Amino acid sequence: MKDNFSTRSREYSKYRPKYPDGVFKFIKDHLNGCEAAWDCGTGNGQVAIELAKFFSSVEATDISGNQLKNAVKKNNIHYTLQPAEKTNFNSARFDLIISAQAVHWFDFERFFAEVNRCIRPDGIIVLLGYGLFYSNNDTNQIIREFYNDTIGPYWDPERSHLDENYRTIPFPFEETDTPGFEQRYQWSIEHLLGYLRTWSAVKHYENKNNLDPVSIIEQRLREAFGNSNEVVFPIIFRMGKIRKPD
């Protein structure tokens, strides 16, 4: 698993979008127990804190120590520095295993083997993520050009899985149909610029060229977006259970 997010971990916590309440309600309605959950690739703990509202205990793991230092704290959340593919958890422990905006960085075969080992027979596996946001037409055009052209060559290959809504990721589970969700915000231009600067390709561009690429589009974006505007994130949501033998 790559660690692209140890730098600027505070900015990540401040600017990254969250997931709609309806996503967690849908998950909760399909659970067979709320004793233990594992949030894998927890980052700043934004999903862990939601799970902690209805789970007795939440294990939250990441390979970034800096992300974990900036994660939201709560008594029933236990953060540990562990890779997704090999943990110290007991077998058949979790009612829910969830990974949000992270699974595309994992070794799929090894991670899903660990899921099968750690999940309870009636447990649920969930993959969450969010696609490229959209706003008004002028903003959308600038962002598409920036995303595809300016920083396009600097995206890691794994990013393509998000562009494909995680449909190019193997999912060796009995899948449950999930509804479509969107997360809407009224963001200031400063928040939008801060969010763009958390993108991994922006960091790669900056490291190679010694230049913040967001500065290239900043003035155009300020004019197109205005001081405040709506941004909408399409939510990626896959859910399933362990396949029972025929």
Domain boundaries, the chain: 9-241
For residue 245, what pLDDT is reported? 66
Q: How many C-beta atoms lie closer than 10 Å to residue 157's C-beta?
A: 7
For residue 4, what pLDDT is reported? 44
For residue 8, what pLDDT is reported? 52
Residue type, 216: I
Whether domain 9-241 has CATH 3.40.50.970: the reply is: no
- Tens place of pLDDT per residue across the chain (246 aa): 544 444 454 565 688 899 999 999 999 999 999 999 999 999 999 999 999 999 999 999 999 998 899 899 999 999 999 999 999 999 999 999 999 999 999 999 999 999 999 999 999 999 999 989 999 999 999 999 999 999 999 999 999 999 999 999 999 999 999 999 999 999 999 999 999 999 999 999 999 999 999 999 999 999 999 999 999 999 999 999 987 765
Per-residue tokens: 1: 């698993």
